[in-house]
Amino acid sequence: MKRLIFAILALLSSPALVSAAEEAAKNIYKFEPSKALSMYGLIYTVLMVVVFLYVGYLSQKKTSTTDDYYTAGRGIGALSNGLAMTSNFLSLATFLGFTALIWKLQFLLVAFVMAWMGGFVMISIGVAPSLRRWGKFTSMQFIGERYGTAAKIISVCCMILLAQLYLIGQMKGVGNIFQVMFHWDYTTGLVIGGIVVTAYVTIGGMYGLSYNQTLQAVILGLALIFPTTIILMKMGAGAGAIFPPFGYAKLVPSMLEQLPTYFDPFTTVMGKIPLTFKYYTAIFLSLSFGTIGLPHIAMRYFTAPSVREGKKATLWGILFIGMVFLTTFAIGFAAKLYTVDVLAKQGLALNPKDADILVVVMSQAFAPAWIAALPIAGAMAAGLSTIGGLLMVIGTGIGHDIYTTISPNATEEKKMKMGLLFTAIGGLATIGMALNPPKFLLTSVIWAFVVAASTFTPVLILGIWWKGANKIGANLGMVVGAFLSVTLWWTKGKLFGFQFINMGPIGYLMGGIFSASAAWFITVVASLATGGEKDEEIRRVVDRIHGWNDYSEERYSGNTFAICCALVALGMMVWSTMPY
């Protein structure tokens, strides 16, 4: 049993791993990009970089106020915003890493995707409209004005933590693409890619970021769909491959013949694993609630012209993100069938290092070089987009939210310059950290979701829907949530030397049940114990951000919602500590 758990934990921390037995039994198929593939990939990458920098330069001319720099003048339409939201969320790790995870985890990854999509649905219903009516720049600003200066500082610190967890992986991925595909050394690729995205975000602000993210969403979508269609057709999927998300149906019998457990939710390549209802609950809680709390996703709503346009942008985003996710299912399915049917029959196993670039491996095997190189462009676009969004939120959080707290009388020009400065510093600092990335890198993106679910989400939802939430509750909730989400992840469930939570198989997400629930529980209990929010002006703001023109003391004041949240959270905390 210990061996099984160790193998599964190793699987999650490095999805590309294959079993020692598999390696020993077969020769390794080593992927080597052709000269044509590398050439086209480099051409596409250079062209994209030139276009992104030019867009940033043009956007600079439209940026004259802090409103322009931080929110693009609140003039980004629903379709463009939905596309920007798509590329902002679909990181390089998603574009390439998802295929590796599907190849390795198979059906289990569906739960991850459904959790993320569920998070976007909850954002559109419970958070986005109110944040847009409130009308500032970031979710940290909302927290600051709703709960006070101390809460704003705590939230910015939490933002920096989860942003870096996200960012280092993206930066390392950019460096790895240059290293593997173009035979550059890792450091050169990392520095060049990092400087490019830092430059266009810093120069163009939110205008440049929004326009580039819209373009990047189109690039990454086409770069995934075209090669996948060709691959599926050549593998025998027929005309249905024109729509890749469902185009592999004709190949399902072949997969079930080669690997009967492919669609079993409790099976991976490594064998049966005891995934319980508790684990699936942990996935949903950590990833969906983490999505709500991600500050670079919330930031997109502040660029919408109106609440209606913000809601429509979310729907567009859900559609486009869902299409990309479903297409990754198709390419992951094709990759798995290719390895168990074609390579295995030749006595070959995929090189573990190549699992993260399976899209490129499959493309080179089935498509002409100019098509096969498209995923390189798509991966770069996805990585640069997510890096750009995170750098923007870092620049805004420090250069605006913190700076205006220290210097409330600063001029508009000074505020904008500080945002520009800290965006650049954030990019350079991330490049520096990615030069020698920490060992937890491969799971750091998931960790960021757990941190967001345990810090931002409780205070955002309670602050919007319950007038009784106050600064003491919010401050304690965020601090405790941050401490537990970091500690339980780092120690694999241990707290002060004791095995506090039995993480179980693939268990890092199990810590999210306790840390997020604890944040909810403490925020509610501490707010109730200290008499709730007494400032009438803040209570009036709660009515306003819900669209009410008048004020009613009864609206959103009842404690039933908050108490129910606390009781559910307490139950989840107790449940999470129980052994399997």
User: What are the tens digits of pLDDT across the range 285-337?
Assistant: 888 998 888 887 777 877 888 878 888 888 898 888 888 888 888 888 888 88
Domain extent at residue 254: 2-577
| Residue 242 in tokens | 């024109």
Q: Which residue has the tokens 């929110």?
A: 71
User: What residue type is assigned to position 102 of the chain?
Assistant: I
Which pTM was predicted? 0.82
Residue 363 contacts residue 371 (beta carbons within 8 Å): yes
Q: What was the pLDDT predicted at 530? A: 95
CB 291 within 8 A of CB 116: yes
Residue 19 DSSP label:
-
Range in 350-364, 395-409, 458-472 with the lowest mean pLDDT: 395-409
Measuring CA to CA, which residue among 481, 482, 492, 449 is closest to residue 501?
A: 492
3-class state of residue 349 by DSSP: strand
pLDDT at 24 over 70: no
Residues 6+ apart with CB under 8 A from 567: none
- The arithmetic mean of pLDDT across residues 341-366, rounded, is 78
Strand partners, 350: 29
Task: Report how far residue 264's alpha carbon sits from residue 17's, in angstroms, rounded to the nearest whole number.
Answer: 20
Per-residue pLDDT of 37-66, as tens digits, reads: 888 888 888 888 888 878 877 877 777 676
- C-alpha 84/C-alpha 81 separation (Å) is 5
User: How many Å from the N-terminal Cα to the C-terminal Cα in the chain?
Assistant: 13
Dmax over Cα atoms in the chain, in whole Å? 73
| Number of structural domains found in the chain | 1
The yes-or-no verdict on residue 496 having pLDDT over 50 is yes
- Pairing between strand 27-29 and 348-350? parallel
Q: How far apart are CA 193 and CA 577, in angstroms?
A: 43
CA distance 83 to 318: 10
Q: What is the pLDDT of residues 444-463, one digit of tens each?
A: 777 888 899 999 999 999 99
Closest CA to 12 of 335, 444, 502, 434: 444
Label residue 273 by pLDDT band (50, 70, 90). Answer: low
CATH of the domain at 489: 1.20.1730.10
Tell me the two tokens of residue 107. 């059906």
Burial of 327 (0-12, 13-18, 19+ CB in 10 A): buried
Quote the tokens at residue 124.
């559109």
pLDDT beyond 70 at 574: yes
Q: Which residue has the tokens 């959270």?
A: 569
3-class DSSP state of 306: coil
Query: 379 - beta bridge partners?
Result: none
- Residue 397, pLDDT > 80, answer no
